[in-house]
Structure 1
């Protein structure tokens, strides 16, 4: 790594400016920051969870984690280390800096009692070597509205609910509670802190993050409860041949009920002059295409891995979620070169899906790497498919079928947030 390189947590607020400049350099955001931005970020960055690599006093690599609650199948919220802001300056690559900071964070996370670590991978090949596996995927669509075969005369919900534009003050008041309801029913979702809402509603704006106020629309059920929220912006192109051509970009759409989800999508599809809707990142099995009279009008723009997960405490993580497939017992041998998740474990579930997991010395039914167990953990991957790829070893006939039935969930997990 080099004798002149010092990898450490930030020791003083003076470090934050240098650290931010290194982060902006690594992410190609430009080297100049305002004093205001440095001051704002210094207030929200937890220096005890923020690492930098310093070469002769200058920061050349960055790494940060945040405490988050991750929803797992069954609705439990698991403490997670949410890793972000990982960068290495182009002048200092291939020196083990990211690996050194990752190793320090994973050990610290386990000591803090965080059974898993999560991140959003900028590039697919990077994080598998650290024991992470893709645990959720996302899709985004471009909807050709004129071809969607939907009723453009939509006049609002027919279930007694209503759709209304909402001012920012209402979004700030009702949004956090609504999101917590959505998070609790969405495996893969994480909580949003106060700073997230400040940034998304324009309370906290810095020069490098320009903010344009979106339109906000809420769905209320018949009792008046806010069950859904959508934020969107519009872009008006020239009107070719005197025909309207307005594009809508969805910043977020969260719904605590299917009725709210349907109503908000139908509202967007009925907007006058709109010819294209960009959905932003959605669950890979989102209902949107099937809401259209012609699902082919929703063109898949991306379908890709999104949130990656790393198991640090296998018994705690596997005991936290619920399982399908009835009463079952499965013995797993987990391979982990870094040691955090290594061992042999007995997973037992009852008829209601409640589980317990503990170390065992009995022979394993399946051998799997920590990264591939992470792919299974939230229910997105199939053990049978991993076996076909020779990514797990079946020691008992039918064990992969058992694991598939246990881990899979009715809907695919989804993380709505970049972090």
Structure 2
């Protein structure tokens, strides 16, 4: 497939992987990457969904997609193209390389019947023009565990926690994760092989911290939760000043989560707990004694694109009954453009083409931002990204599109 300025887009061949990977590393700053990470990514790469752009025999662009499944409001898990590994050589900017790759990736996703595409953006400004919207946020925090205490949920004392080698309890931890997937929009059902990403632990990436550690929570002999973390010793004028860095935490019930947080807050010689990429509504925020000493920060996280507007809107449920005609603008995927009649409630929905007058008008990126329930249509309207054409339609749709649980993308890809 040709692109502008004489470059050619081709499907990646396995024997080209190392060259492809090296190009990607250079595009992201050129730092050394551990061999373990390269080999894991090689094993997870879907070569028939991976692209390379060539200028003669020079590799100038990379991209790929993973065949994921993502939870949407209501608990359905939809086929989703996980767009990843996107890079363009600095020598070939503004020549249509990225556009050609996004065209191919989204066309392929449509052909495969994937209603959604998702990505994590290294540069957020890039992807709006391809119809992606910021659909999930993440919470980072630096908690002063030397001064912040916890009020624990009932039943915490019934939960036992114990250390275990991470690989030895991987199966049990994955069972907990799988149970949680339908409960929160944005979560990804783990595809075969992806469980190994949680165990990736190259020493060169630890920055002086310990090897990956794991503690599991049990009740009546059954694993009900787990946490993976690292510790890093430190000393200051007042004595010990170590940091616990949380890599992952999951629990099936409040008492299990409480037991795991209590463990992390109480590790000897540690005075800080560092969290990255957590759900914005995670319950620990209501257990701590002093939220101001928790250093919370919000960041953009998952970007979503509706590849098939009708299928995507029909697949989720809605908090309150909704009957609305949406006028969708979609320049990059014109098969989505036009009017759609959405009718739905907490039990299900339908979304069909219509010639009826529109109630709301919005770009597909705005619809994508609201799709998982974490961004309100009202807030998008206040920014000028949604137009109300029938009085009352905006509030009706905004309430219906919401989610009682904040959407969360649990890991990178």
**Same fold flag (TM > 0.5):** yes
Change (3 A) 1:379 1:39: closer
Q: Given the superposition, is the C-alpha separation of residues 234 and 28 from structure 1 closer, same or farther in structure 2, using an over 3 Å criterion? A: same
The residue number in structure 1 matching 2:250 is 254
Q: Is the 8 A contact 2:4 2:96 kept in 1?
A: no
CA deviation map 1:260-313 (0-9, x unaligned): 22221121112222111001111122222221111111112x312110000011
Tell me the distance in 1 between the aligned counterparts of 2:241 and 2:106.
49
Task: Indicate which of 374, 381, 386 corresponds to 2:368.
Answer: 374
Query: For residues 353-401 of structure 1, what are the alpha-carbon distances to aligned partners after superposition, in whole Å with 9 as ceiling and x for unaligned?
Result: 4211111111111011100000111001111122222111111101110
How far apart are the structure 1 equivalents of 2:387 and 2:197?
Answer: 46
- Name which of 323, 328, 335 aligns with 2:329: 335
Post-superposition CA distance 1:292-346 (Å, at most 9, x none): 111111112x312110000011121111111112x33111111101214212111
Q: Deviations over 1:13-54 (max 9, x none)?
A: 2221211111111112348996x8766654432221001111
What residue number does 1:406 align with? 400
Match of 1:14 in 2: 15
Q: Does residue 317 of structure 1 match 2:312?
A: yes
Indicate if the aligned counterparts of 1:25 and 1:31 stay in contact, CA closer than 8 A. no
Residue aligning to 1:308: 303
**2:7 maps to which of 2, 5, 8:** 5
Task: Please report how far the alpha carbon of residue 237 of structure 1 lies from its aligned counterpart in structure 2 after TM superposition.
Answer: 1.2
**RMSD over aligned Cα atoms:** 2.4
Q: Which moved more, 1:380-389 or 1:204-213?
A: 204-213
2:222 maps to 225
2:237 alignment partner in structure 1: 240
- Residue 304 of structure 2 aligns to a residue whose secondary structure is strand
Q: How many residues of Structure 1 are paired with residues of Structure 2 in the alignment?
A: 408
Gaps of 5+ in 1: none
Match of 2:384 in 1: 390
| CA distance in 2 between partners of 1:85 and 1:361 (Å) | 40
Shift of the alpha carbon at 1:209? 9.9
Using the size of structure 2 for normalisation, the TM-score is 0.92
Partner of 2:409: 415
Residues in 2 aligned to 1:122 and 1:37: alpha-carbon distance in whole angstroms? 19
Check the 8 A contact 1:377/1:407 in 2, yes or no: yes
* C-alpha distance in 2 between matches for 1:205 and 1:278: 20
The 1:277–1:194 alpha-carbon spacing in structure 2 relative to 1, beyond 3 Å, is: same
* 2:280 matches 1:284: yes
Matched, 1:180 2:182: no
State the TM-score, normalizing by the size of structure 1.
0.91
Structure 1 runs, 4 residues or longer, greater than 6 Å off: 31-34, 36-39, 204-212
Distance 1:207 1:304 in 2: 26
Residues 360, 389 of structure 2: 8 Å contact kept: yes
Q: Name the residue aligned to 1:299.
A: 295
Distance 1:105 1:142, change over 3 A: same
Q: Which runs of 5+ in 2 are unaligned?
A: none
5 Å-filtered alignment, 1:135-174, equals: 135-150=135-150, 158-174=156-172
Cα contact 2:8–2:54 (8 A) shared by 1: yes
Q: What CA distance in whole angstroms lies between the structure 2 residues aligned with 1:2 and 1:83? A: 22
